[in-house]
Amino acid sequence: MAAPNSVRPPAAGRPGRNVPDRRPPDEDPQTQLKRQLRGGIAYLGAALIGVWLLQMVMGPLMPRAAEIPYSEFKTKLAAGQVIDVTLGSQIQGVMKNPAPKSPQDATSRFVTVAPPGGDLDLLKELGAAHVTYRAEAPPNPITSFIFSWIVPIMLIAGLWSLAGRNLAARAGGGIFGVGRSKATEVKAEEVGVTFADVGGADEAIAELQEIIQFLKTPQKFARLGGRIPKGVLLVGPPGTGKTLIAKATAGEAGVRFFETSGSEFVEMFVGVGAARVRDLFEQARAAAPAIVFIDEIDAIGQSRGGGIRLVTNDEREQTLNQLLAEIDGFKADAENPVIIMAATNRPEILDPALLRAGRFDRQVALGNPDLTGRLQILKIHSRKILLAPDFDLERAARVTPGFSGADLANVINEAALLSARRNAEGVTFTDFEAAIERVVGGLEQRSRVMNPKERQTVAFHECGHALVASLVPSGDPVSKISIIPRSRGALGYTMQMPREDRYLVSVEELEDRIAVMMGGRAAEQLMCGTISTGAVDDIQRATQLAKRMVTEFGMSEKLGAVRYAGQRLQYLGNAVDEGTDSSAETRETIDAEVRRIVGEQFARAEALLTTHRDALTRVSADLLQAESLDGAAVREALAREQGTPVSR
Ligand code: ADP
Ligand code: MG
Ligand code: ZN
């Protein structure tokens, strides 16, 4: 559909305007430059006038005559050298120069100040010396008021408004274009993504169909009495394809796509963000039908009330208000349909005003894909990649539970790079597994040298994890253990492959998980007789999990099924707002329960490893030798041990 310019709403009279005067949208660079030049000249002129006026005011106060002591004045007066005197707040006058060098030198001006209280004899003395004298009229109170107050105030106000107008003009796209929206505009035919490129999001796609209907045939939609949608909020953890699906919606509907991010509106200067929002929507309306996509909208849409805020952020509030005004300003405009989409991974911190009916009233949730979803995504991303003939995509999907769409795309890409490095015919499953390791654990750093004792400790530690994982009832099978240092601070790692996607987890399973985490330190303790800093990450995760069991899952008998934790940030795994309203005793009990759970599981891990000490010794020796082992080696060692009588 064509985008007629004439339907753009007039610039004035829209709600929420707060920058007074804006560049007309169609102004060409030439007139813009001229306008800026004119502004500059006016600025300079005002400054000159200001300086001149200041001098006028200050001028009379500046002594142009030589200042002399009062005693000298009296001496000269007595000697008959003074000719002319003006009496005011100070005494000014003309006196003869006793030894002139030139005719101009014959007289000189002087100024002096009478002592406090005045000189009562002065008039008599002046009369006796035949000096012409006069008095200065006291300053007119009205003129002096005007000069000392009105003029400076008017001057300052004038300069202020000039500067303000200049700033507003800039905010409207002057030299720096501060107020121009930074959105990238993608033409309908260049979007290039459709729902065929989005995997594992069938429900989200179904929900977006209505939006597409509206964008494609707005008149029909309106005639049939459908409530015109305005805003769609995409929520979900990072990397689940929110940006992708927004773009694909534009691709499906065949409309223009304006993409921007919440952080691009947040600036130092109050009013700039609002100006950008206005500019963005002006552009979008002119290009309708269109989708405006604001990524990471939490940057501007954070809740205004409540919570601790170190600074009140006027700029953000203005920007948010402007955004709300723009959304509300959308009419049921079948001629120029514009849909606003936004994405966030923290929906719970959004301002409720954004979620009100008629704004972002549709929420579409995206989550990490399940097995079929992962298979779809892997298929999509391996379209352009040459896979080895026996590559089993389904198996690949099976070994990647918990991976987001972005993770999967990343793994496939990494696998392709690895196979290319080998000059291979196609990507094999080995490449894929190596790529998983890279994506999960960062790149291998063989160059970093550990001393033999450290290596031994790390080997015991990782074997401890692996054995406990194999021994507890619900432990996920170990797929690999390694003591190759990784860049992310860990010295070794144990990889477990979950058997299936889990949605409900029992208390026993959680305890097993904690026991596995404690297995590392328990093995160190058992085999080295001492403990190291290597368990820092395990301890943190175990503590966190135990705390959630107590405060969120209601798994402590002492505390019961009561929630003690604060608000949980839904999609950002670990971030928890601590609840601070429980009593000191309750908090003590929570701490004690957390300590008990972790302590019990540590003891359990230690007991398991003590029982299977032989397997631990054997596997860690193999690991030290080979640097990495697969899960089969661990299971083998345990199976062999089962045949022999358990040592002590
Ligand atoms: P988000 O915006 O949710 O953080 P993105 O849309 O930016 O995630 O995803 C980044 C990349 O990951 C996409 O460009 C795409 O290549 C891949 N990706 C993510 N989710 C999916 C999915 N569901 N289907 C296909 N590819 C996906
Ligand atoms: Mg994104
Ligand atoms: Zn560990």
Quote the pLDDT of residue 330: 67
Closest by alpha carbon to 497, among 418, 391, 395?
395
Residues with catalytic roles: 462
**Three-state DSSP state, 427:** strand
How many other CB atoms are there within 10 angstroms of residue 630's CB atom?
15
Quote the pLDDT of residue 289: 86
pLDDT at 569 over 90: no
Residue in this structure with the two tokens 């000697």, named with its chain if needed: 79
Lowest mean pLDDT segment, chosen from 219-228, 301-310, 437-446, 502-511? 301-310
Q: Is 405 in the pocket of ligand 1 (CB under 6 A)?
A: yes
Q: Is 241 in the pocket of ligand 1 (CB under 6 A)?
A: yes
Closest by alpha carbon to 495, among 542, 538, 436?
436
The CATH number for 371-441, chosen from 1.10.8.60, 1.20.1090.10, 3.40.630.90, 3.30.1450.10, is: 1.10.8.60
Quote the pLDDT of residue 378: 94
Read off the pLDDT band of 172 (50, 70, 90).
very low
| Structural domain 452-640, CATH architecture | Up-down Bundle (1.20)
List pLDDT tens digits, range 44-70.
777 778 777 776 766 555 546 788 888
Ligand showing the shortest atom-to-Cα distance for residue 495: 3
Ligand 1 closest atom vs CA 244 = 6
Ligand showing the shortest atom-to-Cα distance for residue 482: 3
Read off the pLDDT band of 304 (50, 70, 90).
low
**Tell me: domain 65-136, CATH 3.30.720.210, correct?**
yes
Domain spans, the chain: 29-59+142-171, 65-136, 184-365, 371-441, 452-640
Read off the pLDDT band of 5 (50, 70, 90).
very low
Quote the pLDDT of residue 446: 43
| Nearest alpha carbon, ligand 1 atom 11 | 406
- Helix (H), strand (E) at residue 436: helix 429-441
Please state whether 529 falls in left (phi above 0), alpha (psi between -120 and 50) or beta: left
pLDDT at 173 over 50: no
Ligand 1 closest atom vs CA 200 = 23
Half-sphere exposure in the Cβ direction for 342 (13 Å, CA): 29
The answer to whether 470 and 478 are in contact (CB under 8 A) is yes
The answer to whether 527 and 467 are in contact (CB under 8 A) is no
Give percent helix, percent strand, percent coil of the chain, each to the nearest 5.
50, 10, 35
**Domain 184-365: assigned CATH number:** 3.40.50.300
Question: Pocket of ligand 1, candidates 233, 240, 242, 244: which has the most ligand atoms within 8 Å of its Cβ, to mutate?
Answer: 244
Ligand showing the shortest atom-to-Cα distance for residue 540: 3
Ligand 1 closest atom vs CA 369 = 23
Report the separation in Å between the CA atom of 621 and the middle of ligand 3, taken as the mean of its atom positions: 18
Closest by alpha carbon to 121, among 67, 78, 65, 69?
78
The answer to whether 419 and 382 are in contact (CB under 8 A) is no
Q: Which residues 6+ apart lie within 8 Å of 362 measured at CB?
A: 207, 211, 229, 231, 232, 233
- Helix (H), strand (E) at residue 479: strand 478-482
Per cent of the chain over pLDDT 90 is 23
| Nearest alpha carbon, ligand 1 atom 6 | 241
| Nearest alpha carbon, ligand 1 atom 12 | 406
Report the separation in Å between the CA atom of 517 and the middle of ligand 3, taken as the mean of its atom positions: 6
Average pLDDT over residues 27-32: 50
Average pLDDT over residues 157-176: 60
Read off the pLDDT band of 298 (50, 70, 90).
confident
Burial 322-350 (b: 16+ CB within 10 A, else e): bbbbbbeebeebbebbbbbbbbbbbbeeb
Report the separation in Å between the CA atom of 460 and the middle of ligand 3, taken as the mean of its atom positions: 10
412 CB burial (10 A radius; 0-12, 13-18, 19+): buried
pLDDT at 308 over 70: no
Strand 628-630: give its sheet, edge to edge. 493-496, 478-482, 628-630
Report the separation in Å between the CA atom of 601 and the middle of ligand 3, taken as the mean of its atom positions: 14
Quote the pLDDT of residue 168: 53
Mean pLDDT score of the chain:
79
Average pLDDT over residues 289-304: 83
Average pLDDT over residues 612-619: 94
Q: What is the DSSP letter of 489?
A: S
Report the separation in Å between the CA atom of 238 and the middle of ligand 1, taken as the mean of its atom positions: 9
The answer to whether 363 and 402 are in contact (CB under 8 A) is no
Q: Which residues 6+ apart lie within 8 Å of 407 measured at CB?
A: 239, 400, 439
Lowest mean pLDDT segment, chosen from 5-14, 23-32, 196-205, 577-586? 5-14
How many other CB atoms are there within 10 angstroms of residue 448's CB atom?
11
List the beta strands (DSSP E) in 148-301: 184-186, 231-235, 256-261, 290-295
Average pLDDT over residues 144-172: 72
Quote the pLDDT of residue 59: 58
**Three-state DSSP state, 293:** strand
Read off the pLDDT band of 467 (50, 70, 90).
very high
Strands 478-482 and 628-630: antiparallel
Quote the pLDDT of residue 7: 34
* Partners of 478 in beta bridges: 496
pLDDT at 174 over 70: no
How far is residue 310's CA from residue 353's CA, in Å, rounded to a whole number? 22
Quote the pLDDT of residue 540: 93
Phi, psi (5° rounding) for residue 124?
-60, -45
Q: Which residues 6+ apart lie within 8 Å of 78 measured at CB?
A: 125, 129
Q: Is 373 in the pocket of ligand 1 (CB under 6 A)?
A: no
How far is residue 32's CA from residue 548's CA, in Å, rounded to a whole number? 61
Q: Is 378 in the pocket of ligand 1 (CB under 6 A)?
A: no
What does the angle CA 429 – CA 431 – CA 436 come to, to the nearest 5 degrees? 95
How far is residue 547's CA from residue 559's CA, in Å, rounded to a whole number? 12
Phi, psi (5° rounding) for residue 377?
-65, -40
User: What Cα–Cα distance (Å) separates residue 72 from each residue in 128, 159, 290, 301?
Assistant: 18, 47, 88, 77
Lowest mean pLDDT segment, chosen from 165-174, 219-228, 598-607? 165-174
pLDDT at 86 over 90: no
Quote the pLDDT of residue 164: 61
User: What Cα–Cα distance (Å) separates residue 374 from each residue in 178, 398, 406?
Assistant: 43, 8, 11
How far is residue 98's CA from residue 105's CA, in Å, rounded to a whole number? 10
What is the end-to-end Cα distance of the chain in Å, rounded? 83
